[in-house]
Structure 1
C-alpha cells in the first residue's frame, strides 16, 4: 500500500471588500453560497458560476517567488485565501481538494497574478506567473469549518475517495 499525499492548511485569510487589508484567521466557516465567511469574493452572484470563490496558493510556490526576488513578504499579501503546505496542487480544472473533515473545493482555473502584485514588490507579478505559482481558484462543492493544521488531500472526483 502506498502513502497518499497529504498536505496541511498552513494559512487562512480573507478580505471584506475589494482592496481591503487581508485578515488572517485560525479557522473559518466555508459554504457553497458564500465561500469563506466574511470574504467578499466568495458569494456567488445570481447566474454566476462561483469560479473564484476560494483561492489557494502553495507555500513552496510563494517561498520560491520570494527567494527569486530576495524578499520576505507575508503570504497573505498575495491576497489568496488559503496557504497549502506540503502538497503539490494539481493544475487541472475539476480536481477536487478535501480540507479537514468536510470541506471540498473544486479547482476551476489558474489564479493569474494581477498588476497589483507590482505595488507589493517590483517583479512579483512575473515571479508568480510561471507554472501556476500564483495559485488556483476554486468553487466550494461542500462546506464546513476549516482550521489551521487541517489535512489537505486530493480527492477522486468519481468516487469521492482519496487518490
Structure 2
C-alpha cells in the first residue's frame, strides 16, 4: 500500500534546516603560539580577514577552509563522560580556537555566522580529532572525541573577538 504524500518533503526540510533563531555565546578563546606548546587562554583575539587569529601558530593559506576552529561548549561534558571523568574537559586540552555555547554548531555547516559586532565566519566543515587525543586524554580519547571535534571556518570579515560575544547566524535573505 503506498504511503500518503503530504507536500514537498525537500522544502519542509530546507525550512527546518534554515530555522536558527537563537543566539550563542563565545565562552572561551585559545591561541596556540607554537606547535605542541601550551595553549594560551585569552579574553580577546584579533581575527585577520582570510588568514587566522593573530598570535596563533596556524598559517592557513588565503581561501583556506581551516583558518579558525570552533568547539561546542556542551560537548566538553559529553566527552568527559565518555572518558569516565566527573568534570567537563578543559578546552585547552583539545587545542581549538573558540568554544561556543547555546547554538548547535553542526547546524551551521556551510553557513555564515557573526561573532560580536565585527567578525563573520563561514563554517566550512568538521574538525575531526587527531591521534594526539590519545596522548592528551588517554586510552579512548580519540574515540571519545569522534563526532565532538568541532568545526572549521574561514574568516570572511576580521575584527576583534571577545569572550562573552554573541554568536548568531547571518541571514540568508
Q: Same fold (TM over 0.5)?
A: yes
Q: Distance in 2 between matches of 1:88 and 1:27?
A: 22
Gaps of 5+ in 1: none
* Distance in 1 between residues matched to 2:30 and 2:116, nearest whole Å: 16
In the TM superposition, residue 67 of structure 1 has moved relative to its aligned partner by 1.4
In structure 1, the partner of 2:31 is 14
Q: 1:138 to 1:3 in 2, by over 3 A?
A: closer
Q: Deviations over 1:2-44 (max 9, x none)?
A: 9921111000001122212100000111111431111111x33
Please say which structure displays the higher CA radius of gyration.
2
The whole-number CA distance in structure 2 between the counterparts of 1:44 and 1:68 is 32
Distance, in Å, in 1 between the alignment partners of 2:20 and 2:141 is 35
Question: CA shift at 1:127, angstroms?
Answer: 1.2
1:80 Cα deviation after fit: 0.4
Q: 1:60 aligns with which of 61, 67, 74?
A: 74
TM-score normalised over the length of structure 1: 0.85
Supply the distance in 2 between the matched residues of 1:140 and 1:61 (Cα, whole angstroms).
23
- Name the Cα RMSD after superposition: 1.9
CA distance in 2, matches of 1:3, 1:139: 20
